Chains A and B, each alone.
Chain A
Amino acid sequence: MAAWDLSVTVEELGPEAPPLKVSVTSDLHIGGVILKIVEKTQIKKDWSDHALWWEQKQQWLLRPSWTLEKYEIHADARLSLTPQHKPLRLGLPNGTTLRLQACFSRPVFQTVMGVCHLLNLRHPEELSLLRPMEVKKKKKDKEAEEEVVYDLTGLRTSSGPAHTLSNGMPMHFADSLQTEAVYKMLSVSLPAPAPETITKMPRPTSLMDKAQVHSRWLDSSRSLLQQGVQEHDRLLLRFKYYCFHDLDPKYDAVRLTQLYEQARWAILLEDVDCTEEEMMLFAALQYHIGKVSLSEPQPMTSCPAMDDLDSALQCLEVKMEAEESITADMLETMTVAPELQDYLKIFRPKRLTLKGYKQFWFAFNNTSISYYKSKEESLKEPIQQMNLKGCEVAPDVSVAGQKFCIRLLIPGAEGMNEVYLRCENELQYSRWMAACRLASKGKTLADSSFSSEVQNIQSFLAMQRTNPGANIAQTDDSINTYSLVSPRYHKKYKAKQLTPRILEAYQNVAQLPLTDALLRFLQIWQGLPDFGVSYFVVRFKGCRKDEVLGVTNNRLIRIDLSIGDVVKTWRYNTMRQWNVNWDIQQMAIEFNGNVNIAFSCVTATCKIVHEYIGGYIFMATRTKEQAEVLNQELFFKLTGGHEAI
């Protein structure tokens, strides 16, 4: 067989070097070609990660046993020998950027699997890579370059299941202090962003905007290089499918945190719409999570992995102590609750009379407040006793105006009684407020949460003192409320108007441990009506105007583009089949009862929509038992398609 020259570019020889010419025959297999090239370069290094890339055909030559003939490579082909893993800048849900080695030769689905394995993110099938929004103005380029990049290119994982240390950190992060810091950044939610950061970020204002986002997903069944991604490019790693399988705080420190970050940004940037009340609750949870993350160095201490002997021993000790302390505990709970007594002013807005505040001697007892004419009379019958169990407690506070009032709505048989208590100073206020809060939940002053409640209130009061304009990130007890809500509320409220609103919501979550708070945030997020809908602008067959197709984990939604109203929904479980006509980029779906729909995609390629639907169906096939094994074949079957040309 005749030998001919094959020209191959080798990166290692430098960018200016001319392509190498190797003499080959058509029946030479790829492995042999590589061997020849390597010999010719005379560079001694580990070439195992290198593979041949066929520039013109945008194709990797990954099968070493295939011959050049089989690949239909002739003398005019220009190949390059290049590493399969290249550094990539990866934007995480929490806004930070990592530099790490990603696979450029395998389908993106597997690239994501590799990245997730490295980052200790379980269930990589739920994530995918998104091209970042193109930066329009050149001014912003500078800022982008300024961003901190955490370098993880040196990190290598062992194959097989990741071994984790007792604190849940995978072994490979324990190499250096630097990587440990990166892991912490990954697994602990970041402090609240400065309000300016939020306002500067692009926000979707319409369904059209939201649909644009989804046009940027990479194709899971093709490789990065095939999709034009170059070394050192920046991509975003995001949760793509909104069904989070088997979320277990014990193993999912990074996953949970990143999920929370993605949810938080979705809320802050109004990607998902919510009501004002919900926004305040989200704000309260963010505040709480930020606060607890700071105080809890190990994020998941609440559920330590017991593979560590030390922790096991410790646990044992605690258990033994606990047994001994049962009696002590019992005694404690038996003791009478400590009392809170002071002169306060009371005001009952009743019958339209303007009596104003009057001073009495107040005593807190169990869940009731009694008041007397004076301290001396406190042994006699109280003027009135109010049981606060089940009542509503709201702050009416202005630090600047030195006004510290507690508004109580006390339920009675006849209705709710409105009562205002006025305290003299912050300390007094925070103690009485805490007591009222506990009492409203049926707890007494003896409850262990009393002192922490007092502290919470004090730190919240401190929020009011800070200058709302100051651009400070969250520190221990000062935070700008504008960092917790979407820009819409920056316009609507002053920062100090927000404080009491957030505080009100905060009282219901203040006692949650970190993990629970994260989960609660996610739950409320998932409970929003618009949660988990990915929008695509499509044109239905036979319709003249663009409409929106919403894809969720269990249904397809047809939405009117201009009004945003839901026109129709189809659930996946009534779906019989779907087909893609790649030529005319049209999807046809058949549902039970002879319902047929067909549409072409406007904002995204047909492949993205097809992959989204197929992906969700794939997600639904997962069961708890097979949690560990990922059925890749099925995923590609359901989401792949036109590559098989």
Chain B
Amino acid sequence: MDDIDAMFSDLLGEMDLLTQSLGVETLPPEPPSSSSKENNFSMGFADMNVESLNELEENDLDALMADLMADLNDTEEKLAAELGGQKEAEAPHPDLPPASHGLSFYPESSLSTPTSPERGPNTFSAPLADSPAPILSPPTLPQHAKLSMEEIEAQMKADKIKLALEKLKEAKVKKLVVKVVMHDGSSKTLMVDERQTVRDVLDNLFEKTHCDCNVDWSLSETNPELQLERGFEDHENLVDPLSAWTRDSENKVLFQERPDKYEVFKNPQNFYLWKKDKKTIKDMKDRDKELLVEENFCGTSIIVPDLEGVLYLREDGKKSWKQRLFLLRASGIYYVPKGKSKTSRDLVCFVQFDNVNVYYGKEFKNKYKAPTDFCFVLKHPQIQKESQYIKYLCCDDAWTMNLWVTGIRIAKYGKSLYENYKTSMKKAAITTAWTNRTAGTTSIPSTPSPTTKAKASGQANGHAPQPPAEPVAKVGNAPPPPPPMLPTQILPPPPPDPVLPPPPPPQATKKSPPATSVPRQLPSLPTSFPPLPTSMANLPPPPPSLSQDDSSESPPDFLPPPPPTLGFGPGAGSLPPPPPVSFLPPPPPDPGFPLPPPPPDPAFCPVTNRDSLPAPPPRQSNIGAGAPPPPPPPPSASAGLQSTPSVRRTGPPPPKRTTPPLAAPGGGDFMSELAKAMAKKRGNQ
């Protein structure tokens, strides 16, 4: 252990040196990601209050060390990059500005946004601020050279102050070393800083575990003393709840699949129509489910399921459980006092959700003599031991318990829950694509080519020597695959790509494995791409799939997608596994989301399609049918290749929706039926 400590302090020293050199020369301040890493070193271990270093297992330490080393490399590299960039900026007439260092740096700015919104845009210093520009049109770069020396100096001074302040701020950021218990019982150790959300940590874990990244994966905490368990919500900060743990706590953080996490979005009818008979609920059509989600989560206000039912309440202090009629409202849980009606005005507030979280109770039958084992608990997150302030409730069955816990979560978190779900879906879609790609061999190697192609169009020499894509994942660790470059030049680039004026969105960029860039890791950028570059490099790129990929790589933002891909569409569709198709999904970071339907692999996550599709003009087709135009085919159809596979999923809904009303006698739809009836009436008179 001593050795390790020594190693750490060495590392720390080295980092300090680096920092100092940065400070002295005051090159453009490094992006916060790197500076935050530094502080990880200085703070992380000082602040470790979850587990002491000594308790870490050997392999945990190894993992941590690897992380740290990577961070160190990262910083060094960045420093080098910045030096390069700076030189460049100072050069009076850089004819060929995008020198390797500078260029390798740019993409990061574009990269940082899509997957890690919480990071915010990296704050680049002035010389690098317009980083994306050089990629497109090199001549814009020299702009900085025009600045007078004084201005530069002033700028540098300001930057210096900024940097110093940022560092000070950074130093205040709290970090925890967290041991996460995996689903198989093993554990992984992570460093989590207080600004990271559960989503970030999940992304981090996806990267580390190569799991399938479906939406059910979640982090949860267990409290063995109280026998409680709660899944963290994706938008929560992880450090906050963990800070409430006591020193001697046996609480654990689990990384596991929890189907209850987003069940409400997959089967909203279970929660919103719980009063209906089971058959109706079970036979619910996908389109109707969508509608339910839309109704309850997309309006001006979130609608909380109107739960009511008799639950058992554990009496304060006593060991008995008493039955009461409880009602859930957006403002809290209420109960009906004895002898009163359940009209709103008579309800008594049992609990409001501002200060409590909802937990599942485990084996309360034994522990508290509960009537059943289906218990849930409401308590302030800080309470860790038995207390009169904990409220214990017991349900008749698991279904009811799930209903209530989910209902409470909706009431408490509202829209965030839905946002989280959408984010998870996007994540899952991207990752599915990846998994598919690596599994479905054929299309894999071709991926990089389109990207480079697109790049090439923007670059002066068309050589694309420096794939601007910075490996977000640890992709860079693998030997750079040279072959992909060749096909690019051999194949005539498909027309649409070069026409596109703006640079391809980061998503596309990200995917191309780095050709020459030094292995670099941006650990702070959460990403879902499992590092599987090796396999990619080994596979020869079959030309046809290449073009398929091309279409898939085409930035989702720019619809319609390139026409030529259409030709390849059928081919793609006929491929046994649906990889190329499912590869399409990378949905644009956020704003574009509702526009292009991410066509994820149906086989992998059937829900994706359903929920992410822009809802076709909804009800009118159903009821007022006829009068409003029939729902147009989902826009995905326009996306040439995409359509083939996604038709399977997206195609059916519209007809399904329209058929019932059409089924009305006479084949007329509802409206015309009505009109007919009216005409008849008129005729009679």
Q: Which residues of A contact B (CB under 8 A)?
A: 243-244, 247, 270, 273-278, 281, 326-327, 330-331, 333-334, 390, 392, 411-416, 488, 508, 519, 522-524, 526-530, 554, 564, 569, 572-579, 582, 592, 614, 617-618, 620-621, 623, 634, 637-638, 641-642, 644-645
Contact = CB atoms under 8 A, between A and B. Distances in A.
A641 B679 CA distance: 10
B169 A274 contact: no
Contact of B661 (A270, A530, A576, A614): A576
Given A275-B345, A524-B330, A576-B660, A411 B678 contact: no
A326 B159 CA distance: 11
B615 to A, nearest CB: 9
A413 B671 contact: no
A244 B299 CA distance: 9
Contact of B619 (A413, A519, A569, A617): A617
A334 B165 contact: yes
B665 to A, nearest CB: 9
B273 to A, nearest CB: 8
Contacts of B381: 390, 411
Interface-centre pick from A270, A416, A574 (highest chain B CB count, 10 A):
A416
Nearest to B617: A623
Contact of A524 (B166, B331, B349, B618): B331
Contacts of B338: none
Given A415-B389, A579-B677, A573 B619 contact: yes
A524 B352 CA distance: 14
A130 B291 CA distance: 32
Contacts of A524: 301, 330-331
B246 A575 contact: no
B619 A572 contact: yes
A414 B627 contact: no
Contacts of B622: 572-573, 575
Nearest to B657: A573
A327 B300 contact: no
B164 to A, nearest CB: 10
Contacts of A574: 288
Interface-centre pick from B275, B304, B347 (highest chain A CB count, 10 A):
B347
B628 interface: yes
B140 interface: no
A637 B295 CA distance: 24
Contacts of B300: 244, 247, 519, 522-523, 526
Contacts of A392: 355
Interface-centre pick from B244, B383, B623, B663 (highest chain A CB count, 10 A):
B623
7 contacts: A273-B343, A415-B387, A526-B299, A527-B330, A554-B295, A576-B661, A578-B674
Contact of B383 (A416, A564, A644): A416
Contacts of B291: 573
B239 to A, nearest CB: 12
B684 to A, nearest CB: 9
B558 to A, nearest CB: 20
B670 A576 contact: yes
Given A327-B161, A330-B165, A390-B355, A278 B670 contact: no
B99 to A, nearest CB: 29
B343 to A, nearest CB: 6
Interface string B324-357: 0000011110100000010111010100101100
Contacts of A276: 345, 347, 349
Given A277-B352, A416-B389, A390 B299 contact: no
A270 B343 CA distance: 12
Given A334-B169, A519-B300, A644-B682, A529 B306 contact: yes
Given A416-B380, A575-B622, A577-B673, A527 B304 contact: yes
Contacts of A413: 244, 246, 382-385
A5 to B, nearest CB: 32
A506 B663 CA distance: 54
Given A270-B345, A577-B670, 8 more contacts: A243-B299, A411-B381, A412-B382, A524-B301, A526-B300, A529-B344, A579-B677, A620-B618
A645 B685 contact: yes
Contact of A529 (B329, B383, B670): B329
B380 to A, nearest CB: 4
Given A526-B301, A577-B661, A621 B617 contact: yes
B617 A390 contact: no
Contacts of B295: 554
Given A276-B349, A334-B165, A638-B671, A416 B387 contact: yes
A618 B388 contact: no
Given A244-B300, A508-B354, A523-B300, A327 B158 contact: yes
Nearest to A564: B343
B369 interface: no
Contacts of A412: 382-383
Interface in B621-648: 622-624, 627-628
